[in-house]
Structure 1
Amino acid sequence: MSDLSGKIREWLTAYVGDGPIFLVDLQVSPGLKRTQITILVDTLEGISIDECALLSRKLAHHMEEQMWIEDAYNLEVSSPGLDFPLTQGWQFQKNIGRKVKVWMKKEGQLEGELLAYTDDSIEILSEKVVKHRVMVAKESTRIPLVDIDKIKVQVSFQ
């Protein structure tokens, strides 16, 4: 299946070029009856259902035309959603100003507003309880990317 995955990745890279659509993740999983192909794509503004459907149709047509897969398959093209961690620089840029949760490799978790992103770190504005009181202080923390296990956007109802 890695050959199929490589062909799909190569086609997607050529199809989307330098944007506006970005490939976030690609998974090809063989099943008992059908191969499952899951492609996660996004744009800086957020990808629409119509854009996902068009990409799915074009890829399915190309795969069948090129006879990349002989067996039955399921092809799912969608956006990553909030449960998928941020992994690429443009995703961090897109979510500046939003609330995120950061899982550290060694030091637990941190929640706060994503203030900035560079190629090697992020900056988070989080709330800190001062001396076990009700007082809360805002604190800016720069975190090297190498110290982060994963980071996800959090839903805010405010």
Structure 2
Amino acid sequence: MSEIVKTTEELVEPILQAKGLELVDVEYVKEGKNWFLRVYIDKEGGVDIDECGIVSEQLSEQLDEQDPIKGAYFLEVSSPGVERPLKSKADFGKNVGSNVYIKLYEPINGVKEYEGILTEFTGETAIIAYKVKTREKQTEIPYKKIAKARLAVSL
């Protein structure tokens, strides 16, 4: 984890806790010629633009004071959206029963990507129910083999 991401997490956590908000993710990325510091926040029922604005203002003040980033960048504070990433074991636990997309570091039964219902999470294993054509299937996925995971919109 970069020092910029770590410092940003440390600065934003107290702001979010005071407002009953949750930190989902922080990323510091270059797109074209510009650098972006993106902070994704959420709460039960979702966050609105006013909450994002307030957090952005307060975090911007903290970043100006600490000055962990040399050079220009854009600060963006937003909701992670409906396809929110699942970044921690707690995220998996809170989303049992939800439709998820999981990408693995290595295949299980010849498959490297799964989309289906997260039926159970033990802390070390995610159990996902999915369909192959009309057949219902289920597989156990060790948490340590998950490269990326997010909520998935089902149509």
Normalised by the length of structure 1, the TM-score is: 0.73
The structure whose residues are more often strand, as a share, is 2
Distance 1:117 1:71, change over 3 A: same
How far apart in 2 are the matches of 1:106 and 1:3? 32
Q: Quick one: percent identity of the two aligned structures?
A: 29
How far apart in 1 are the matches of 2:115 and 2:51? 32
Displacement of 1:70 in angstroms is 7.1
Displacement of 1:101 in angstroms is 2.2
- Name the residue aligned to 1:49: 49
Contact 2:15 2:58 in 1 (8 A): no
How far apart in 1 are the matches of 2:151 and 2:80? 11
1:123 aligns with 2:121: no
Say which one has the larger Rg: 1
- Counterpart of 2:74, as a letter, is N
Displacement of 1:94 in angstroms is 3.6
Contact 1:34 1:71 in 2 (8 A): no
Q: How many residues are treated as equivalent by the alignment?
A: 149
Contact 1:82 1:152 in 2 (8 A): no
How far apart in 1 are the matches of 2:97 and 2:45? 14
Which secondary structure state, in structure 1, belongs to the residue aligned with residue 107 of structure 2? Answer: coil
Normalised by the length of structure 2, the TM-score is: 0.74
Note the aligned Cα RMSD (angstroms): 3.0
Q: Which residue of the other structure, out of 111, 114, 132, is the alignment partner of 2:115?
A: 111
Superposition pairs of residues 14-29 of structure 1, within 5 angstroms: 14-17=14-17, 20-29=20-29
Displacement of 1:16 in angstroms is 2.7
Give unpaired runs (5+ residues) of structure 1: 130-135
